[in-house]
A = this chain, B = another copy of it.
Amino acid sequence: MDEQGMDEHGTCGHHAHEDRTQNAGTHGAHDHGACAHGPARAGDLVARAERLAQARGLQFTALRRRTLEVVAEEGRPLGAYDIAERLSVPGKRVAAVSVYRALDFLTEHGLVHRIASRNAFVPCEHGHGAGESAVFLICRRCGNVDETTSAEIERSLDRTLAQAGFKPASRIVEIEGECGACQGKAEAE
């Protein structure tokens, strides 16, 4: 189709429809506020997704890519309905249910993460190998989410689980509090 016209250099990735072909690159300067490291890495994530799809024979479709781009460009966790809205253009609405399906794909392959305590989604900030799980630091004040990992935490958890005779399949670790930047701001008040 033809809905579009706003890409400039970049191709912020709309243009859905060439169905299954994906061109890469593109950076897209959107001016989202408070975007700490969003857009800079968005291209990287898309590139990673393309490599991954290639390697595993997956279909990294236009909708999935656009969804990934939207999530990656925003610095904060986004709800599925927010994503749907950002993906929609006057003539062409994207239904939330489609976004959910795209998000299912993306989370399944480790490209985005779901923040259970917020019902929202964030881009994966660093491809973790295998079962290496993430720790999310969610700031109460600015809403930013930082993703990190810790082999030490992983080990402690494994020990506790083994002791309980529990076989883990997925792990959720979400810490809510104040990020470093906001602690500074708090003092200034």
Contacts and interface: CB of A to CB of B under 8 A. Distances in A.
Interface of A: 116-117, 135, 137, 139-140, 146, 148, 150, 152-153, 155-157, 159-161, 164-180, 183
Contacts of A150: 156, 159-160
Contacts of A146: 164, 166
A139 B168 CA distance: 9
A104 to B, nearest CB: 15
* Copies of this chain present: 2
B172 A177 contact: no
A166 B179 contact: yes
Given A137-B166, A167-B183, A171-B173, 5 more contacts: A148-B160, A157-B175, A165-B179, A168-B176, A170-B177
Given A137-B164, A153-B156, A164-B180, A172 B169 contact: no
A129 to B, nearest CB: 19
Contact of A168 (B153, B164, B172, B175): B175
A176 B166 CA distance: 9
A164 B161 CA distance: 26
A121 to B, nearest CB: 14
Contacts of A177: 161, 166-170
A117 to B, nearest CB: 5
B160 A116 contact: no
A73 to B, nearest CB: 23
Contact of A173 (B169, B170, B173, B179): B173
